[in-house]
Structure 1
Amino acid sequence: MAGSYDDRDGKIWMDGTLVDWRDANVHILTHAMHYASSVFEGERAYNGKIFKSREHSERLLVSGKLIDMDIPWTVDQIEAAKEETLKANGLTDAYVRAVAWRGAGEDMGVASAKNPVRLAVAVWEWGAYYGDAKMKGAKLDIAQWKRPSPETIPTAAKAAGLYMICTISKHAAEAKGCSDALFMDYRGYVAEATGANVFFVKDGEVHTPIPDAILNGITRQTIIAMLKEKGVVVHERHIMPEEMADFEQCFLTGTAAEVTPVGQIGDYTFEVGALTRDVSESYERLVRA
């Protein structure tokens, strides 16, 4: 499948019904379009099975509550919708996007309690998020923006509004020939990339930021558990930017990114080493098990 995302063959699940891909539309006065009242999940299906599917569905409902938006579907109903959409599109290896948002209704100001909460599921084929960087290592810019304090926005929600600075930062990175950008948080600590968590390796041990101002990714949690099972020491801690000079390896994790090695962040360089490759290969085996 290729081409514009609004002009493809296939089916999209919307509010309980499968509709033709090109007919999956919303009104221009949809609240989410104006005020970012939307949450979503990015998932991958491997060999017909969505990895950590139920955890993603559970997090979607939590994200909705965090932005004061109760999603009127249960986890079981969301699970069934995802399976139905995969089947309708004849896909077994696919990216899965579940999105909930406040639609058009009686409210069109900041408040939107009278507007219906809607839900959709779309699936499509999507290869390596960072292209050939998965083999040779991604190159990252350092974003000019910082991840916000949890006192200013619900950082634990996978919410559309939190991605505004991600888009700005990734555009700036791509203009410099980079694959992505790395954020610091509001305190100046290393935070995350625009759509992935970050890990560093030094002396056979792994270091990763505490998710106290960033999304605690499902893939992140999976990788930490995997590393511990392998006997690798994992330090979840605050990391200062200058510490990157002493780290030997670096990799990103996320549903789209999977496990992607990093070769450079700003002026800091890293080798695509054995531990990173082992984690990447182990994750690939796990999701296809």
Structure 2
Amino acid sequence: MAGSYDDRDGKIWMDGKLVEWRDAKVHVLTHALHYASSVFEGERCYNGKIFKGVEHSQRLRKSAELLDMEVPYTVEQIEEAKYAMLRANGWTDAYVRAVAWRASGEDMGVSAKRNPVRMAIAGWEWGAYYGDAKTKGAKIDIAKWKRPSPETIPVAAKAAGLYMICTMSKHAAEAKGCSDALFMDWRGYVAECTGANIFFAKDGEVHTPLADCFLDGITRRTVIAMLREKGVTVHERRILPEELEGFQQCWLTGTAAEVTPVGQIADYNFEVGALALDTAASYEKLVRA
């Protein structure tokens, strides 16, 4: 599948039924377009099975609650809808995007209690998020923006508005020939990349930022559990930027990123080494089990 995302053949599940791809539209006065009242999930289907799909559906509903919205579908209904969309398009391996938003209605201001919450589920066939970085190692910029304090935003929500600085930072990184950008948090600690969590390795042990002001990714938790099952020590802690110089290996995790080794962050270089490659291979085996 190629071409603009609004002009393709296929089916999208929308508000309880499958519709033609080009007919899946919203009005220009949709509340989410003006006020970012939208939450979403990114998931991958491998060999006909969505990896940790129920956890993603649960998080979608929780994200909506954190934005004072209620998704009008149960977890079970969301799961049924995702698989209906996949079957309708004939996909067994695909990326799945579920999104819920405040629609157009009687309110068109900051307050929108009278507007309905709508939902859609789309998908597409998508390869490696970072291209050949999965074998060569991604090149990462350092963003000028910082992840804000949890006192300012609902950090546990996967909400559209929280990605504004991600888009800007990724554009700036790509202009420098990088694949992504690394954020510090408002205190100056290492946080995450624009759409992926980050891990570091040193002397056989793994270190990853404590998820206290950014999304605790489902892939992040999966990889931590997988490493610990292998007997690898994993430290979830606050990491200072000056520590980057001492780490030997680095990788990113996320539904889109899967497990992608990192070769460089700004002026710091990392080996695409055995632990990073083994983690990537083990994750690939797990999701296709």
How big is the shift at 1:192? 0.2
Structure 1 distance, partners of 2:222, 2:282, is 11
Q: Say whether 1:10 aligns with 2:5.
A: no
Q: Secondary structure at the match of 2:221?
A: helix
Structure 2 distance, partners of 1:67, 1:116, is 14
1:275 is matched with 275
Q: Say whether 1:166 aligns with 2:166.
A: yes
1:139 is matched with 139
Consecutive aligned runs of 4 or more in structure 1 exceeding 4 Å deviation: none
Q: Say whether 1:83 aligns with 2:83.
A: yes
Query: Paired residues, what number?
Result: 289
Structure 1 distance, partners of 2:80, 2:111, is 31
How big is the shift at 1:51? 0.2
Q: Secondary structure at the match of 1:29?
A: coil
Structure 1 distance, partners of 2:109, 2:275, is 51
1:152 is matched with 152
Q: Secondary structure at the match of 1:78?
A: helix
Deviations 1:154-192 (A, max 9, x none): 011000000000000000000000000000001000000
Paired AA for residue 81 in structure 2: A
Q: Secondary structure at the match of 2:271?
A: coil
Q: Say whether 1:246 aligns with 2:242.
A: no
Paired AA for residue 88 in structure 2: A
Structure 2 distance, partners of 1:156, 1:242, is 27
Structure 1 distance, partners of 2:202, 2:65, is 38
5+ residue gaps, structure 1, are none
Task: Give matches, 1:36-75, under 5 Å.
Answer: 36-75=36-75
Structure 1 distance, partners of 2:104, 2:23, is 17
Q: Say whether 1:237 aligns with 2:237.
A: yes
Q: Say whether 1:113 aligns with 2:113.
A: yes
Q: Secondary structure at the match of 2:152?
A: coil
Task: Give matches, 1:176-255, under 5 Å.
Answer: 176-255=176-255
5+ residue gaps, structure 2, are none
TM norm structure 2: 1.00
Paired AA for residue 31 in structure 2: H
Q: Say whether 1:124 aligns with 2:112.
A: no
Q: Secondary structure at the match of 1:54?
A: helix
Paired AA for residue 266 in structure 1: A
Percent identity, aligned pairs only? 77
How big is the shift at 1:211? 0.5
Structure 2 distance, partners of 1:95, 1:158, is 17
How big is the shift at 1:91? 0.2
How big is the shift at 1:120? 0.3
Paired AA for residue 265 in structure 2: I
Structure 2 distance, partners of 1:149, 1:68, is 19
Paired AA for residue 45 in structure 1: C
Paired AA for residue 211 in structure 1: A
Deviations 1:55-110 (A, max 9, x none): 00000000000011111110000000001000000000000000000000000000
2:258 is matched with 258
Structure 2 distance, partners of 1:84, 1:25, is 19
1:19 is matched with 19
How big is the shift at 1:219? 0.2
1:93 is matched with 93
Structure 1 distance, partners of 2:97, 2:204, is 35
Q: Secondary structure at the match of 2:144?
A: strand
Q: Secondary structure at the match of 2:18?
A: strand
Deviations 1:182-222 (A, max 9, x none): 00001000000000000000000000000000100000000
Paired AA for residue 145 in structure 1: W
Structure 1 distance, partners of 2:128, 2:33, is 28
Structure 2 distance, partners of 1:250, 1:160, is 27
Structure 2 distance, partners of 1:4, 1:204, is 44
Paired AA for residue 12 in structure 1: I
Paired AA for residue 215 in structure 2: L
Structure 2 distance, partners of 1:243, 1:172, is 24
